Chains A and B, each alone.
Chain A
Amino acid sequence: METDDVPLDDKAKRMRDLLSSFYAPDPSSTENAPSNPGTLDAINTTSFDADQYMNLLIQKSNLEALLQRHVEMAAEIKNIDTDLQMLVYENYNKFISATDAIKRMKTNIVGMEANMEQLLDKIMSVQSKSDGVNTSLFEKRERVEKLHRTRNLLRKVQFIYDLPARLEKCIEAEAYVDAVKFYTGAMPIFKAYGDSSFHDCKQASEEAIAVIVKNLQGKLFSDSESIQSRAEAAVLLKQLDFPVDSLQVKLLEKLEQSLGDLQLKTNDIENASMESNDPKQGKVSDSVHITAHEGSVRGFAEAISAYRVIFPESEEQLIKLVQDVVVKNFETTEQYVKGRISSANLLCVLRTIWTDVLLMDEVLSEAVLPVFSLEAAQIALKQHVASSFNYLLQDISDALLRVNVSSKEAAEEHPLQVALEASKKAVLQGSMDVLLDFRQLLDDDLQLLVQLRDFIIDWVQEGFQDFFRALYDRFLLLSGRNSSSRQDQGLTGAHGEKVLAGLVLVLAQLSVFIEQTVIPRITEEIAASFSGGGARGCENGPAFVPGVICRIFRSAGERLLHHYINMRTQKVSTLLRKRFTTPNWVKHKEPREVHMFVDLFLQELKESASEVKQILPQGLARKHRRSDSNGSTASSRSNQLRDDKMTRSNTQRARSQLLETHLAKLFKQKVEIFTKVEYTQESVVTTTVKLCLKSLQEFVRLQTFNRSGFQQIQLDIQFLRTPLKETVEDEAAVDFLLDEVIVAASERCLDPIPLEPPILDRLIQAKLAKWKEQNLISP
């Protein structure tokens, strides 16, 4: 089956190809492709070369294939022959049918000509009849048209003549719209013929129009007219070619004038705040003031809306105008904020402005006044926060500096204590007040502030952070650490320095107070009412970092305390330096009494103690515990040393004594001379004493003494024991240091023979009696 099918298909295809090639106008187009004569397929092309084909065939194929090919080819040739016959036959068939068709056409066409001629005649007659009708009607029609035209013209003339009267009527009826419409309608005619035939008419109607214009202007400017009619008037005027611009400018000027009333005056604000401070009276007058203000703003807003309707294209000017008002108001506010005001007052002012803004926004939303005023308010608020903190800082340093003043007046008994309390209060109360103040800002539901809430929170937090930093700087400045002023103050005299030292102590204690009380309170307060914020962006974290501030003030407190102790010891050092560098110790005379530097030293200590007592808390009964713990070994050792010194008295002893000292040092626990300073009266005084005694020891070590010099030192130091014990917490260390001084003196003595105990005792007793007497009088 398949084998039959394929040749059949092939056959049909070839037939079609042959037919198409036969009828095709161009034989070349039948060639679907330029065939390669080199292949066996080229048999069906025009460029077929039989010899070449043969050669190729012989070359390429074996015998069997050739034979096969031969058979194929013979079959193909036979096929083609039959095809050809069939083609010829079909062609012939078609030709015959074509001849038949032509023959039929010829017979059909013969009778047509006569019919056509008949048709032409009939059409000609119809045309001639219609022409006749047309000419008979023409004249009449012409006349009708002419009459119509005349009538129209007459009507127009009538209108023009009636115009003045009509305008009058319109004026009477105030139907300006119609009047303007009529007039503008008549305008072209007046323009063309106004000078000749319609002169009177024109004049009369112009007069009428002038009246109209005047009326319209009046209407435009009269505030009593409705906005609608004013707007209409403006439009009509414009239609009448009246110069509207100048009117616009005039109106704008009028608006600007009314602006003057709108601006908040600093006086007003102050009045408002004054009044609001006095709640009873304030309420009434405040409300009066506010209503008055609001009234004027309302009026202004109306005027603006009217203006806008009247002159729609004047928006820009209006926006500028309105923004000007707002800017000026905020400028006054900023000016106002620079002064010292409470948030309530600021709030009052802001509220007023905001109502104004809202009112104006209603009529002129394009001016984006809320956004605009938001920005301005932001600035004002920020300034307010900053200035609040500034004033707080000022308050605190004022409170601190009062120490100087009050102690100079010497009116109060405990100037430092007073100053400390005052400044503590200033810091805590001040910051609480500030917070409370700012809370008012937050709690208010004024839309302006609600939008700025996050900002305010951030500013407040930031403000506190900066404030405490600034406070820290101020502390350092006041303590004189920050500058070289310390030296100068040292030169200005003991009095000035003393006050400064006290101030440093106050600052130290204040730092502790801030760290332990104020910061937690503020943190709490901020957490309670100023949490959130975050407008600053998360990466920076919260603006107020209590940890950092605490750390700053803790270290500041320690530094200031050390500084205080330093200042105290420095003064003693100067005293001691003078004491030890002036006399010639090698040629010292026998001691007769305790040297007066001891008095001065004790005096200094007393001063320091009195300062400390005012400021610092008492330690918790440390005295006993401390002396119990390591005092026993040291004091027994020192007693022994003293006994040694009393009994033995020759030069060889010194060496064994030195050995003894070393041995004693080896066996006894190291006395910690320099312990951490605590914020207690005892700790500070003890540290001061210890440092002074250590300095004393160092000064002694630098000198060389003769016997009397050594004895003098011995006497002085022995005397110091009693009064020092009374003031000092760490007895053991002080005892140890006093011993060390004596040991150092004996080491540096050419002939270390101590005073005989009876003489020593007598001298000390005499001095003690004197000292006690003095002590009884002075406190």
Chain B
Amino acid sequence: MQGGSSGIGYGLKYQARCISDVKADTDHTSFLTGTLSLREENEVHLIRLSSGGTELICEGLFSHPNEIWDLASCPFDQRIFSTVFSTGESYGAAIWQIPELYGQLNSPQLERIASLDAHARKINCVLWWPSGRHDKLISIDDENLFLWTLDCSKKTAQVQSKQSSGMLHYLSGGAWDPHDINAVATTCESSVQFWDLRTMKKTNAVERAHIRNANYDMKNNHILVTAEDESGIHIWDLRKPKSPVKELPGHTHWTWAVSCNPEYDGLILSAGTDSTVNLWLAPTSAEEEATSESIAEPPAQRADPLLNSYSDYEDSVYGLAWSSREPWMFASLSYDGRVVVESVRPFLSRR
């Protein structure tokens, strides 16, 4: 399984799009990933990095009824996760619990805690509040934003509130502010919108076309990183939504996913459809004022923000996750179903 330069590889049977860090597992560095196969039986893999850090071990392999378009691990219970799935014609979302049958690889059944079945449209993603225990969930479909109250013990999920994004705004994804339990950003075709969950009203918007993915900086409040199809990565200070604080060139083709390191300031990963994962260093707090010159200045005089480009992938990379337990590790997932866990340690020393 050892493929490529430094990364530790793991192969899924089918194509896959999503991978998630199991944040609640404090003893191991583990990731959850689910396959995307229209016609085959799909699987959810629980992968754990061996204690030596040299191998990826499959800790659990569970069959999943449909192809998985989105997967998110519950940040306070390592056995719970959410998926968004599709049967080809219809979409669904559910909360699952891993049965306590660790170590057995005979595809035990996942326990469905709740179905988020209030959606009528194509569901895009389910969000957990990333910073701790919170009994609310957010699910986003093409047109609506749902806030759910989840009760794991009673195994119920109820819609607490719902808000339509408005005409002509097709939502494509979102991110929950780790600093503010009531703030959620959603991406749509022409902008990023910000919602207050108490009132379910729009509070702010960043006008920007074709945003694929958005990610809040875990360390710095007000900082949001967005990935766009053609124009790379932008870092926004939400107090100044008119223009980005910083621009990174992104990828040769689309920049699909972007993720801020939970521990190291300004360390950003991006995954692109040009089959690469790029590691960027773009500290925002120190030089906010330098944005206007950042383009005018000759590039030779500025340190290259690109620390490394991992290019050992065969297909587009859609899945990307930092490990919260070992924040110098990250897992990436390319469409051909290959998980690669890499360490960014060699690049941290340069800071």
Give A contacts to B, CB under 8 Å: 472-473, 476, 481-482, 484, 487, 490, 548, 551-552, 555, 566, 569-570, 573, 581, 586, 651, 654-655, 658, 662, 665, 670, 673-674, 691, 694-695, 698, 701, 704, 747-750
B91 to chain A, nearest CB (A): 10
Determine the chain A residues whose CB is within 8 A of the CB of B170 once the complex forms. 581
Residues of B within 8 A of A581 (CB): 170
Name the residue among A472, A482, A701 with the largest chain B CB count within 10 angstroms: A701
A747 near B230: Cβ-Cβ < 8 Å: no
A143 to B9 alpha-carbon distance, docked (Å): 149
Q: How far is the CA of A552 from the CA of B295 in the complex (A)?
A: 12
Report how far A374 CA is from B45 CA in the complex, Å. Answer: 82
User: Which residue of chain A lies nearest to B256 when distances are taken between CB atoms in the complex?
Assistant: A698
Q: Cα distance A566–B242 when bound, in Å? A: 22
Using CB atoms, name the residue of chain B closest to A651.
Answer: B39
Nearest to B229 among chain A residues (CB) is A573
A750 with B230: CB separation less than 8 A = no
Residue of B nearest to A748 (CB): B38
A-side contacts of B209, CB under 8 Å: 487, 490
B252: Cβ under 8 A from any A Cβ: yes
Query: Is B336 within 8 A of A749, CB to CB?
Result: no
Which chain A residue lies CB-closest to B69? A702
User: Are A482 and B254 neighbours in the complex by a CB distance under 8 Å?
Assistant: no
Q: A655-B40, A691-B253, A747-B15 are in contact. Are A555 and B299 (CB under 8 A)?
A: yes
CA of A573 to CA of B212 in the docked complex: distance in angstroms? 13
Q: Would B298 and A555 count as touching, CB distance under 8 A? A: yes
| B315 closest partner in A (C-beta) | A665
Q: Is the interface of A mostly helix, strand, loop or mixed?
A: helix
Q: Please name all residues of chain B whose beta carbon is closer than 8 Å to the beta carbon of A749 when the two chains form the complex.
A: 38
In the complex, chain A residues whose CB is within 8 Å of the CB of B299 = 555
Task: Please name the residue on chain B nearest to A744 by beta carbon.
Answer: B335
Asked if residues B230 and A570 are in contact (CB atoms below 8 Å), the reply is yes
Binary flags per residue of B47-88, CB closer than 8 Å to A gives 1, else 0: 000000000000000000000000000000000000000101
User: What is the CB-to-nearest-CB distance from B210 to chain A, in angstroms, rounded to a whole number?
Assistant: 7
Contact A482 B336 (CB under 8 A): no
Residue from A551, A654, A662 in contact with B39 in the complex, judged by beta carbons closer than 8 Å: A654
If A674-B253, A750-B38 touch, whether A482 touches B296 (CB-CB below 8 Å) is: yes
Whether B336 pairs with A662 at a CB distance below 8 angstroms is yes
Contacts of B210 in A (CB 8 A): 573
Tell me if B213 is interfacial: C-beta within 8 Å of chain A. no
Asked if B88 and A704 make an inter-chain contact with CB atoms under 8 angstroms apart, the answer reads: yes
Instruction: Give the residue name and chain of the B residue nearest to A567 (CB).
Output: B230
B211 vs chain A, min Cβ distance (A) = 13
CB proximity to A under 8 Å, residues B220-276: 229-231, 242-243, 252-254, 273-274
Q: Within the assembled complex, what's the spacing in Å between the Cα atoms of A476 and B336?
A: 39
* A555 and B300 in contact, given A569-B230, A701-B335, A750-B39 (Cβ under 8 angstroms): yes
Residue of A nearest to B190 (CB): A487
- The answer to whether B38 and A698 touch across the interface, beta carbons within 8 angstroms, is no
Compute how far the CA of A665 lies from the CA of B336 in the bound complex, rounded to whole angstroms.
11
How many chain B residues touch A (CB < 8 A): the figure is 30
Q: State the B residues within 8 Å of A (CB).
A: 15, 38-40, 86, 88-89, 170, 207, 209-210, 229-231, 242-243, 252-254, 273-274, 295-296, 298-300, 314, 316, 335-336
Kindly list chain A residues whose C-beta atoms are within 8 Å of the C-beta of B295.
476, 481-482
- The distance in angstroms between the C-alpha atoms of A482 and B314, with both chains bound, is 35
A-B contact pairs, 9 of them (CB 8 A): A472-B298, A476-B296, A552-B298, A573-B210, A573-B229, A586-B88, A655-B40, A670-B314, A694-B253
9 extra A-B contacts, CB within 8 A, seeds A484-B242, A747-B15: A555-B300, A674-B252, A691-B253, A695-B253, A698-B273, A698-B316, A701-B335, A747-B38, A749-B38
Asked whether B298 lies within 8 Å of A673 as measured between CB atoms, the reply is: no
Q: Are B298 and A704 in contact (CB under 8 A)?
A: no
| Min C-beta distance of B167 to chain A, whole Å | 16
**Closest beta carbon of chain A to B136's beta carbon, Å:** 28
Q: Evaluate contact between A484 and B300: CB separation under 8 angstroms.
A: no
Question: Nearest chain B CB to A398's CB is how many angstroms away?
Answer: 22
Residue of B nearest to A569 (CB): B230
Q: Which residues of A contact B336 (CB under 8 A)?
A: 662, 665
- The distance in angstroms between the C-alpha atoms of A555 and B89, with both chains bound, is 48
**Interface-centre pick from B207, B229, B231, B316 (highest chain A CB count, 10 A):** B229
Q: In the assembly, what is the distance between CA of A654 and CA of B15, in Å?
A: 13
Report how far A654 CA is from B229 CA in the complex, Å: 30
Q: Quick one: closest B residue to A553, CB to CB?
A: B298
A569-B230, A750-B38 known; A674+B335 contact, CB < 8 A: no
A704 lies within 8 A of B254 (CB): no
> Is the CB–CB distance between A665 and B314 below 8 Å?
yes
Enumerate chain A residues within 8 angstroms of B252, measured Cβ to Cβ: 674, 691
Q: A651-B39, A748-B38 are in contact. Are A551 and B298 (CB under 8 A)?
A: yes
Which residue of the partner chain B has the closest CB to A704?
Answer: B88
Would B254 and A695 count as touching, CB distance under 8 A? yes
User: In the complex, what residue of chain A is closest to B17 when comparing beta carbons?
Assistant: A701
Chain A residue with Cβ nearest B299: A555
Task: State in angstroms the CA–CA spacing of A569 and B252 once bound together.
Answer: 12
CB neighbours (8 Å) of B298 from chain A are 472, 548, 551-552, 555
Hey, which chain B residues are within 8 Å of A691, CB to CB?
A: 252-253
B296 touches A473 (CB 8 A): yes
Instruction: Find chain B residues with CB under 8 A from A674 CB.
Output: 252-253, 274
Q: In the complex, A749→B67 CA distance in Å?
A: 13
Q: Are A573 and B230 in contact (CB under 8 A)?
A: yes
Residues of A within 8 A of B39 (CB): 651, 654-655, 750
Given known A473-B296, A481-B295, A548-B298, contact A704–B89 (CB-CB < 8 A): yes
Chain A residues closer than 8 Å to B207, beta-carbon distance: 487
Report chain B residues within 8 Å CB of A551.
Answer: 298, 300
- Bound: A683/B147 CA distance, A: 50
What are the 5 closest A-B residue pairs judged by CB atoms, nearest first?
A: A674-B252, A704-B88, A552-B298, A570-B230, A694-B253
Chain A residues near B300: list those with CB within 8 A: 548, 551-552, 555
Q: Which residues of A contact B89 (CB under 8 A)?
A: 586, 704
Are A704 and B253 closer than 8 Å at their CB atoms? no
CA distance A671 to B316 in the complex (A): 14
Q: With A573-B210, A695-B254 as known contacts, state yes or no: A704 contacts B15, CB within 8 Å.
A: no
A581 to B171 alpha-carbon distance, docked (Å): 13
